[in-house]
Structure 1
Amino acid sequence: MATKPSKSWNNGENHLIFNMVAGVAPNYNTVIDLNISKAILAGAGFDTWTFRHGFDISLPLFSPIAKRINDSQPKQKNYMIISTQLNIPDDYLAELQSIASSSNDLLLLDRCKTGTGKTDYTKRCEYTTGKVFDYPDVLKEGMFCLVVRSARLAQPVLMDILASQCIPIIIADTIVMPFNSHVDWNKIGLFLPEENIKNLLKIVHSVSKERRGELYWQLRWIYDRHFSSMEKITLTTLEILNEKVFPLAARMYEDWNMPEHLYGPVNPLFLPVTAPKSPGFTAVILTYDRVESLFTLVRKLVRTPSLAKILVVWNNQKKQPPPSSEWPVVNKPLKVIQTKENKLSNRFFPYDEIETECQLTIDDDIVMLTPDELEFGFDVWREFPDRIVGFPSRLHVWDNVTGSWKYHSEWTNQISMVLTGAAFHHKIWSWYYTYKMPAEIRTWVDDNFNCEDIAMNFLVANVTRKPPIKVTPRKKFKCPECTNTEMLSADARHMSQRSACIDRFSRIYGHMALKTVEFRADPLQYRESAGVPHVYPDIGAL
């Protein structure tokens, strides 16, 4: 009997339908037999024809057996490939029987024949010998396990295989894998075209030992995180739905697919060896009320050929920035952003106005840099786009007397930090600083009004495992127009507080993330004899 839809149905808008057990006999439909209209369907057994990409959510086909499989493992895998799936189509089964008959690398199991005609789902029998194996225990004996399309496209055996820590080999051309929009199945399994099933052994033997190890360890983490219980399947589904509604809250690929306990933090930058020059860089100036110094800096910055835009972060809530009529007339775009709170972290907020990949973070009193020095610094960053590249450098050292890390500012050959009072970095690090860096560090920086540059160096080094790059030998970065009493570094506690920052941040990260290096980037013709044409002639000397 047909029923009238409720008024709240609204043609399915803002509705989510769960379909955990899809595809029943005799038709094994891949989608629920309802008029779902505009509702989002979170279901199992999708194929590429029925799945609405970017809208629906693909789920695993529930297996009541998988939740009973513990995570114990045998000392070694006794079989290269195991097939335990029932009801494999005849043509594919014939291919697998041919392989199993000629090679010990494939253990082909099927239902055991009994006199009662009933199937005991806790047993599987070998195709060639009739030997009986316990199911699902036998899955743990295999390095790889097969999942083959049948009348039902999705198979519950997939969850049994993952729970048993057997690497799945998927032979189903049109299947939409569970949580395919977020889970990278190529990191936990192999995909074999149906027409290529006869080459199964050749393909598996081509997988290196290292690759097998990566797949094996990765699938355990993915299964535990997303598939090991109905609760986790549901929460993962809701998290994907939340990202559809609030894309700015979306987690990154690495968060879904890269366990830090196996790989450590993953560098999010997949850039060419040398970043392109044409987009240029955005200069982000943090300022409070040193207007004269700010204007001087703006006039110098605009003479740099690769400068694309200037973004002035006005950090003074008690005083308005100068009116537009008082600003220097420049030939580059300039935007002033007024912050709501006076925080050092404002310099690293990922502002929408930063449209270039590269940003120059610079203080309003750094007026001694020449356009050639800035241009050269940008060119060096292009060679090292995942690092902090800049001019003033510092070093961390271990103090045996106090048993702690110390901030070292003397002129040395070694460096481990480039201060962000004048430094180039990829804009993604501002996003990481704001949203991914330990909140305890950011809170401490804002509360104590110090060490945001040290925090950024810790962040980048912890992710990339690489040191920063110092550019040119310039070592004096002082504001000639400013008196010492106006400068933050004039505080007698400044140096001790910086040392405390390094010690604190290393404890929060659990290790010393900073990397030390003896390296400095200079122009090729730097300090060459007279007569040699200089690409960057106005580079300051010692």
Structure 2
Amino acid sequence: MSTLVGISGEDANSIDALYSPAKEKAANRGAYSSRSPLLLRRARQLFGEAKLKVFLGFFAICVVVFVTSRLSSFMGWNPHYPSSVSSPSRGGYTVLINTWKRNSLLKQSVAHYASCSGTEAIHVVWSESDPPSESLKAYLKNIVFHKSQTAQKPNFKFDINEEDNLNNRFKPIEDLKTDAIFSVDDDVIVPCPTLNFAFTVWQSAPFAMVGFVPRMHWLEKAEHGDTYYKYGGWWSVWSMGTYSMVLSKAAFFHRKYLDLYTHKMPSPIHDYVSRERNCEDIAMSLLVANATGAPPIWVKGKIYEIGSSGISSLKEHSEKRNKCLSDFATLYGTIPLVSTNVKAVDARQEWFW
């Protein structure tokens, strides 16, 4: 901690009393004279005192901006940094896309994530009654090859399931090469620089869920006196400044949670998700919170939803989510979610920190 040391008037006089040849020379040149330099006097005559102060202030700001931009380039801080933020020590990430009868959106999604430099593999969770056509397979493999900017092209594969079940999106993946899984819906696009920044955040906390869609929960008292769990969407997060979940529609998590979800989580929760066709993302949040005892991490970043027919767009969505939380509390025995107000922000994209 720095300490500011002031000089009293008496000390200042004693300092002035000291003889200094350099100071005497400067005084002879007029540097210590009360007279203003010629250029400054001419400027005052031309602009006036008030206008001159404004001009000098504007000039100082320009100098600061210029010097800052030069320093940022010199030190390697590029505000328009390329999408190449991946750590070679842990490799990249596997993009796990959940899709359902929206091939046009799937094509856009695969093409985008194939272009991100951190993508080492793309797996599509397919749960339709009919398997993907050969033409669709060929098209997506071709687009992955051509959109990828890396020498080692991402591996592309369909994970085909025999039944339609939301639990399918968290099944373990054979021959997985990465620890990091980026779970995403087929209608959600996260820009590559934003995605790669979130990956670096996940690398700093690899057993947390790190994502872009925060949600929250709290206990609410009903009219008859009983309490129940309430699910809060984006506006609740915004107004209260806290969250306890990040949804798996756009989130990183460790590959081990696929095994834990499938093989260790109470089977009644699997049955509930399958029956209600909802809340698999809440179930995954509960699983990770129970394993870590820690909150998730929300990464600030713009994401784009290119579809409009998901489950969240249906009526009574919030009521169903409330019911999920309360039912899960009974089935799980507790609600292990941990609330937080921490948000990860890329300082290279912020003017003020």
Q: Give the TM interval when normalised to the shorter protein.
A: 0.5 to 0.7
Q: Which amino acid aligns with 2:229?
A: W
State the match for 1:289 in structure 2.
Answer: 101
Cα distance between partner residues in 1 of 2:304 and 2:278: 17
Cα distance between partner residues in 2 of 1:393 and 1:321: 36
Q: Deviations over 1:313-359 (max 9, x none)?
A: 11111353452333252232211121111111111001104221111
2:296 is the alignment partner of 1:468: yes
State the match for 2:275 in structure 1.
Answer: 447
Q: Which amino acid aligns with 2:162?
A: K
Which of 132, 145, 166 matches 1:320?
132
Kindly state the Cα deviation for residue 526 of structure 1 after the two structures are TM-superposed: 2.6
State the match for 1:478 in structure 2.
Answer: 305
Q: 1:322 to 1:288 in 2, by over 3 A?
A: farther
Which has more radius of gyration? 1
Task: Give the RMSD, CA atoms, in angstroms.
Answer: 2.0
State the match for 1:362 in structure 2.
Answer: 184
Kindly tell me the number of residue pairs found equivalent between the two proteins: 250
Cα distance between partner residues in 1 of 2:118 and 2:277: 32
Q: Which amino acid aligns with 2:271?
A: T
Kindly state the Cα deviation for residue 507 of structure 1 after the two structures are TM-superposed: 1.9
2:164 is the alignment partner of 1:352: no
Q: 1:353 to 1:292 in 2, by over 3 A?
A: farther
Alignment of 1:251-270 (within 5 A): none
Q: Deviations over 1:461-492 (max 9, x none)?
A: 01210010001154x6533xx34xx3211221
Q: Give secondary structure in 1 for the equivalent of 2:348.
A: coil
Cα distance between partner residues in 2 of 1:377 and 1:436: 27
Q: Deviations over 1:68-94 (max 9, x none)?
A: xxxxxxxxxxxxxxxxxxxxxxxxxxx
State the match for 1:519 in structure 2.
Answer: 342
Cα distance between partner residues in 2 of 1:505 and 1:469: 22
Alignment of 1:499-538 (within 5 A): 499-528=322-351
State the match for 1:23 in structure 2.
Answer: none
Q: Which amino acid aligns with 1:386?
A: F
Between the two structures, name the one with larger relative contact order (CA 8 Å, sep ≥ 6): 2
Kindly state the Cα deviation for residue 431 of structure 1 after the two structures are TM-superposed: 0.3
Which of 190, 195, 209 matches 1:388?
209
Q: Which amino acid aligns with 2:180?
A: C
2:251 is the alignment partner of 1:423: yes
Q: Which amino acid aligns with 2:144?
A: V
Q: Which amino acid aligns with 2:264?
A: K
Q: 1:473 to 1:333 in 2, by over 3 A?
A: closer
Cα distance between partner residues in 2 of 1:511 and 1:312: 32
Taking structure 1 as the reference length, the TM-score comes to 0.44
Cα distance between partner residues in 2 of 1:384 and 1:275: 14
2:120 is the alignment partner of 1:308: yes
Q: Is the 8 A contact 2:94 2:120 kept in 1?
A: yes
State percent identity of aligned pairs: 31
Q: Deviations over 1:184-205 (max 9, x none)?
A: xxxxxxxxxxxxxxxxxxxxxx
2:191 is the alignment partner of 1:379: no
Which of 294, 305, 329 matches 2:143?
329
Q: Give secondary structure in 2 for the equivalent of 1:330.
A: helix
Cα distance between partner residues in 2 of 1:516 and 1:275: 29
Q: Give secondary structure in 2 for the equivalent of 1:329.
A: helix
| Deviant stretches of 4+, over 4 Å | 274-278
Between Structure 1 and Structure 2, the one with more helix by share is: 2
State the match for 1:269 in structure 2.
Answer: none
Q: Give secondary structure in 1 for the equivalent of 2:305.
A: coil
Q: Which amino acid aligns with 2:208?
A: R
Q: Is the 8 A contact 1:277 1:382 kept in 2?
A: no
State the match for 1:400 in structure 2.
Answer: 221
Q: 1:363 to 1:450 in 2, by over 3 A?
A: same
Cα distance between partner residues in 1 of 2:267 and 2:228: 23
Cα distance between partner residues in 1 of 2:326 and 2:167: 20
Cα distance between partner residues in 2 of 1:506 and 1:309: 35
State the match for 2:111 in structure 1.
Answer: 299
Q: Is the 8 A contact 1:361 1:422 kept in 2?
A: yes
Cα distance between partner residues in 2 of 1:354 and 1:346: 16
Kindly state the Cα deviation for residue 525 of structure 1 after the two structures are TM-superposed: 2.0
Deviates more, 1:497-506 or 1:311-320: 311-320
Kindly state the Cα deviation for residue 524 of structure 1 after the two structures are TM-superposed: 2.3
Alignment of 1:72-471 (within 5 A): 277-318=89-130, 320-321=132-133, 323=135, 324-327=137-140, 328-331=142-145, 332-367=154-189, 369-401=190-222, 403-409=227-233, 410=235, 411-412=237-238, 413-471=241-299
Cα distance between partner residues in 2 of 1:390 and 1:314: 23
Cα distance between partner residues in 2 of 1:441 and 1:275: 35
Q: Give secondary structure in 2 for the equivalent of 1:525.
A: helix
Cα distance between partner residues in 2 of 1:276 and 1:433: 28
Cα distance between partner residues in 2 of 1:519 and 1:330: 35
Unaligned runs of 5+ in 2: 1-85, 146-153
